[in-house]
Amino acid sequence: METIMLGIYFSFACLAGKCTSTCCAGWQILVDKKDYERFLAIEPYWLREDILSHIRKKNGRYYFLNKEDGRCSMLDKDNLCRIQRNTEEKALCNTCRKYPRLMNQIDGTLYLSMAASCPVVAEFLLGSNVFWQKSSKKGTKQESALEASKVFGQWEKVEVKEIAVLKKVWDFYEKNREWANGVFEQKSNEDLLYGCFGKMASSVLDIVLQYQEGNSLLSFFQVFEQDISNQTKGFIKSTYSVWNTLRENYMVYRLLSRKIEFLKESVEVCYRQASGELFLLRTIAFCVYANGENLTKEKWKTLICTVYRFCAHGKKVSKAFGKITASFFTEDCFWSYLLI
């Protein structure tokens, strides 16, 4: 079985209590039936009672309750989970055990990616070169393929345009990017940017108010209560280097990662969703800059995690955000122009 994985996949190490953007907040954590039944017998007894008292059934499915601040009820103040603290990682529910890993088998190839709501992944996206790699180690099961993939010396980098499941999406992206670069040589996108920043902020604000998710975004958008258009040129100049790297890295990462999760999604929707996430990130970064804050590497990491969590963790919000990206422009190619 051929395996294609994100470059950071096997070197990933959870930051645990040192994590600045806990994965145990901002979304409902699903507990599948097998995990719930296992929790019914978990030892010690006091931990079992603790776990079960913080699980609720909704529409036939089990979820951990969240506190008022959005954090999972099993998360202590030091950002460590009480289940993992008092047992071991394999005792966690499937949702927590596999996060931030993403996996799917498509046409005989095993694809392994990771969620950018994790700061370790976000830091990887801010690096010099995001890449995918492949191994052709044979195996009859996913487990054996995964174990075989860990053997040193079997991996080689693979260009995204050579990945079969991504080819149509990547060709579409490159076509739009080529058009955008040609237009940009004739006319800068600076005049368009500020208006689109405001439009994105307003559209996302509507989602936040409707679904009461992503409330942390509200504080960023307050800067638009006054005219800050004069900040646009300085923002573009000061973030030029970081943005150019992040833009390319994010698209290399996200187009395939999204395809892994939503195989039947159209080329256009996949491209728009990834582009929309990236532009929302740029919009929030502009808000931070206009508010007089420094866009440090740590700040960029936090923003990446925030945007991914908002756009990708909840089905309702993700669907609503998809409607925004579908109607934002009359032509999809303008997304690439906006991201230069």
pLDDT digits (tens, 9 = 90+) for 254-264: 999 999 899 89
User: How large is the average pLDDT for residues 135-160?
Assistant: 61
297 has pLDDT over 70? yes
Hey, what are 7's tokens?
């470059």
User: How large is the average pLDDT for residues 168-195?
Assistant: 94
Q: What pTM was computed for the model? A: 0.85
Least reliable range by pLDDT among 35-39, 80-84, 244-248, 336-340: 80-84
4 has pLDDT over 90? yes
- pLDDT confidence of 268, banded at 50, 70, 90? very high
User: How large is the average pLDDT for residues 159-165?
Assistant: 91
Q: Work out the percent of the chain whose per-residue pLDDT is above 70.
A: 91
Report CA torsion sign: 30, 7, 281, 300: positive
- pLDDT confidence of 138, banded at 50, 70, 90? low
Average pLDDT of every residue of the chain: 88
Query: How distant, in Å, are the alpha carbons of 52, 59, 75, 91, 210 from that of 39?
Result: 7, 20, 16, 9, 34
Other residues' Cβ atoms within 10 Å of the Cβ of residue 316:
11
Residue 25: its pLDDT value, please?
66
- Nearest alpha-carbon partner for 258 in 244, 243, 271: 271
User: How large is the average pLDDT for residues 203-223?
Assistant: 89
User: How large is the average pLDDT for residues 143-150?
Assistant: 47
Which alpha helices (H) appear in the chain, and where do they start and end? 33-39, 45-52, 82-86, 94-98, 119-125, 142-149, 167-186, 190-211, 218-221, 232-238, 240-261, 267-290, 297-312, 315-328, 333-338
152 has pLDDT over 80? no
